[in-house]
Structure 1
Amino acid sequence: MTTRLPSTAPLILIIEDEVDIAEILDAYFQREGFRTLHCDNGQWGLQMLRQRRPDLVMLDIRMPGQNGIDVLQAIRAEGRTPVIMLTALTDDVNKLLSLRLGADDYISKPFNPAEVVARVHAVLRRSLAPSEAPEERLHLGKLVVDQGSHSAFVMDDDGTATQLPLTLTEFRLLAFLMRKPRRCMTRLELIEGCLPESDALDRVIDSHLSKLRRKLSDAGCGQLIETVRGVGYRLWPDR
C-alpha cells in the first residue's frame, strides 16, 4: 500500500504480518505526512528495501518464515537504514538482542500509535538532520570520524581507508566520546547526548557500546572504549 503524498515525504516500510496492526500504523503515518509501504513477510520486505530505499523500517520480530531478527541482520549487512522493532515479547532478552544487532529503537505491543509516530519522528530527526559541523573531522590515531558524512573509518599504514559498518546510534556514541577523549561519560550523558528523544535505559547504552567495541576491535583499533565501573565509559587512546 502506498500514498499519494509528495515524493519528498519520508518513506516508511512496515514489515508486519498482522493486517490490523499494519493498517493502524499506515493510517497514523499517512496522517502525519509520511509515505508508506507494507509487506507481510521478511523476504518481501528485504526486496522492497532494496528497490525503494525507505527512510525508516518498522519491523515486527515474530513473523512466519524469516523472523524480524533475521531480517534486521540482513538490513544491517547492507546498510544503515534506521530500524524500529515491533514486538509482543515482554522479556528484555529479545529487545537487547535487537539493539545489539543494530536496531535504533524498539516498541512493545500493545502500543499507542501516537507514541509510535513520536518515536519515528525522533529516529528520523537523528538520521536525516544535517550535522552541526558538516566539515568537521575527528582524528584519534588511525581512527577518523567524519561528522559531515556520518561515517567512520580506519586508516591503514599504506593510507587505505576502511569504513566501519556502524549504525547511526553507534556512530553518534563514537563521535560523542571522540570529542572529549579520556573524559569519563556517564550513561545518562551518553543517552542525553546521543539518544535525547528516546526512553533508553542504561543497559541499552551498554548494548550499543558492546557492539561498537567489537567493531573497533575487529578493525584493528584495539580496546579504545574503557568501562569505568560504577560511572560510565571513556575513550582511552593509549590503551
Structure 2
Amino acid sequence: MSGRILIVEDEEKLAALLSDYLRQGGFEPQTLGDGAAAVELIRSERPDLVLLDLMLPAKDGMEICREVRAFSAVPIIMITARIEEIDRLLGLEIGADDYICKPFSPREVVARVRAVLRRAAPGNGAMGGLDLDPSRYRAVLHGRLLDLTAVEFQLLAYLAAHPGRIFSRSQLMDHIYPDDRIVSDRTIDSHIKKLRKKIAAVAPDEELIRSVYSVGYKFEAD
C-alpha cells in the first residue's frame, strides 16, 4: 500500500520521525509545522491521508478538521497529548477518522494509516460492490450505473468513504453545502430518500445507507 501522507505537526523531531517511518512503509510523506497553511495545502495538494496534531500554532487541529470537512472527505487521523474523553469524542464528531494519543509508537501510527486507508479505498470490500468516480460524478453498483445528481453523488461518496461512521444531518449539510446557505434537516432527508430509491432500483435487497434513530445516517455494506 502506498499514498501521499500530509503530517501537520509543529514538533519538528516528531514530524521527522513519523516521516521516516512512513517513507520506510512505502508512503510519500510531506510535513507542515504551521496550522495556518494546512487547509489550503490540503485543498491544493489533495493528500491521501492527513496526520493532524491537535495543538498547533495559529490554527488548531479541531478548526482545521472542521474546515477541511466542508470540502473534502480525505481521511484524517488526529494526534494529541490531550487524552480526556471529551476531546476524543469531539475530534471524532467533527469528522476525524481515528485518534492517536501521545506518547505512541511510530509503527502504530503506520499501522493506523494503513487501516484507515484500507477502509477509505474505493472498490474495497467495505464498499459493497460500489465503484465511485469523483472526476465524473459517476457511481456504479454491482456493474450497473446509478443515475445520481451531483448532491446525491456527494452524499453517497462521503458516507461510503467512512463505512460504519454515523454522520448527523448537520455534518452532511456542511459537506454538501459549504457556502453556508440556509437549508433544513428535511433537505438531507429528501436527498437520502431519493438516493435510497435509486440504489433499491439496482439492488433491492441491500440497504447501504442506514438511518440511526435521532442521530443521522451511515453507510454499511451488507
Shorter-chain TM-score tier: 0.5 to 0.7
Contact 1:127/1:168 (<8 A) preserved: no
- The AA in structure 2 aligned to 1:221 is D
Question: 118-127 or 43-52: which moved more?
Answer: 43-52
**Aligned-partner residue type, residue 49 of structure 1:** I
Aligned counterpart, 1:34: 27
Q: 1:85 is matched with which residue?
A: 78
Aligned to 2:110: 117
Measure the CA separation in 1 of the matches of 2:110 and 2:85: 22
TM superposition shift of 1:169? 7.9
CA offset digits 1:12-39 (Å, max 9, x no partner): 0000001111011011001101111101
Structure 1 position 134 matched with structure 2 position 130? yes
Structure 2 residue corresponding to 1:51, chosen from 28, 44, 50: 44
Distance apart, 1:50 and its partner CA: 2.4
Report the AA paired with residue 130 of structure 2: P
Partner SS, residue 166 of structure 2: helix
Where 2:52 maps in the other structure, the secondary structure is: strand
Report if aligned partners of 2:120, 2:161 keep a CA contact under 8 Å in 1: no
Deviation at 1:225, TM superposition (A): 2.3
Structure 1 residue 225 and structure 2 residue 211: aligned? yes
Q: Distance in 1 between matches of 2:39 and 2:156?
A: 18
Query: Number of aligned pairs?
Result: 176
In the alignment, structure 2 segments of 5+ residues that lack a partner are 133-138, 174-184, 193-209
Query: Structure 1 residues 74, 210: closer, same or farther in 2, change over 3 A?
Result: closer
The Cα of 1:42 is off from its aligned counterpart by: 1.4
CA distance in 2, matches of 1:104, 1:234: 14
State yes or no: 1:67 paired with 2:35. no
1:86 and 1:106 in contact (8 A); partners too: yes
**C-alpha deviation, 1:218, in angstroms:** 5.1
- Of stretches 43-52 and 21-30 in structure 1, the one that deviates more from structure 2 is 43-52
Which residue of structure 1 aligns with residue 15 of structure 2? 22
Identical residues among aligned pairs (%) = 33
Would the alpha carbon gap of residues 212 and 113 (structure 1) be closer, same or farther in structure 2, given more than 3 Å must change? farther
Q: 1:147 to 1:98 in 2, by over 3 A?
A: farther
Report how far residue 96 of structure 1 moved.
1.0
CA separation of 1:214 and 1:47: change in aligned 2, threshold 3 A: closer
